[in-house]
Amino acid sequence: MTPDSIARWHNPALLDHLIRIRQPWDRLTRRIVRATLAKYLPHSPEILVEIGAGGGQLREWLPPEIAAVTTHTEPSKPFVEAFCQRYPDANVLAADAENLPFTSDSVSGVLALCVLDTLPDLATVRNELHRVLKPGGVVVHFLDLATSPDTLFPELIAGGEVPLTNFARDPGLLEVLPESKKALLPVADDFDEVLAVRWDAFVPFVGMLAKANQPIVADLGPYARLHQPGSFDPDRFALEFMAISADPSRLLALNRALLSLTLTARQMGRAWPLRAVSSRTHLRMKLQNTFATEHGFSLDFAGPISAWEMAPEFVLRHAGRTVSRLMPIPGTPVEEVEGTSLAAAPGKAVRATTVEVFVARKGVGPNLGSSACV
């Protein structure tokens, strides 16, 4: 990740945008956050630290007794200023997650919201969190929005793959596609953000079509230039991918072009295998490996937690995507985390959301990876 790609997360204009898109789900997300903290934080924590605090969204969801003992750290000075304006009574420090201003073994828990998926050097951050945490202290990470591609994309590209938008599950395409063509689509989940294809199969084929002046190339957006030597900028590519994914009309146009390209390749005997990739699943596995026993942690929880409420019609927000097609609500019900009775199975008239939650605990005693509570 370059300084420019890091800087985009520190744009103050981003704060207002995130507040707007989170607002409709605030009540449900707050319930998930509070249930998670009540279950996994050490009893009566003395010092809690938030890393990458941004403008204070996570504090909005914290119960008062937790907020009172939390120090919020944020490397961006404009974000620190915005945080202090929003919460003048909060304890906020300008600090990087790789170099926290706390003594060793002094912190009961480290909290984060949409942070660990953006860090280029997760191992260094993990070591710093291990240093400041008390034995039995926990790392609690929440992800309520789409996963950042900043770590997934470089890993796919380094492995010789190109991340495509998931045209196989685009409802706008599926509505009009004949069954014979649907049968040719790769198996993918509605919430798999990416279809990965081999670079050495996809890029030369696009280059061949571009050389032949095939009009389809002009509709391929960020993929149209990959065959040009020296034209690939990973950060620019990730930005374009996110911008298109957030724009339904542009996404539909790109997915149509990618589908047409894939079918054309098949007709020409150049079919390429596609594999569906969930960025959340990828992040979950990466965090489990990063905070593994050999690094002094044990896993308490990893996966989505769901909450729902009655509504005029069905709507589900999961993995940063909102769908209105009736489907099972994924994840562990929040009632299970709270230890309360499960509500009746949600019907057709509910609005539901999920939050990806990761909890790892610093080990105690000789076996640093053993699970413990204090």
Residue 1: the pLDDT is: 43
Residue 342: the pLDDT is: 82
| Three-state secondary structure readout of 38-63 | HHHCCCCCCCEEECCCCCCHHHHHCC
**Residue 75 is encoded by which pair of tokens?**
């490397």
pLDDT along the chain (374 residues), means of 10: 49 77 95 99 96 96 98 94 95 97 98 94 97 98 90 90 94 88 86 94 96 95 91 85 88 95 92 92 96 98 97 93 90 96 80 98 64 32
By DSSP bridging, strand 107-113 and strand 274-277 are unpaired
Q: CA–CA separation, 369 vs 139, rounded Å?
A: 14
Phi/psi region, residue 98 (left: phi>0; alpha: psi -120 to 50; beta: rest), is alpha
Residue in 368, 356, 374 with CA at minimum distance from that of residue 292: 368
**Residue 196 is encoded by which pair of tokens?**
């990965």
Residue 184: the pLDDT is: 84
3-class secondary structure, 131: helix
Q: CA–CA separation, 141 vs 359, rounded Å?
A: 7
Domain extents in the chain: 3-146+279-362, 149-192+194-277
Do residues 211 and 245 make contact, with C-beta atoms less than 8 angstroms apart?
Answer: no
Is CATH 3.10.150.10 what the domain over 3-146+279-362 is classified as, yes or no?
Answer: no
Nearest 5°: phi and psi at 300? -95, -40
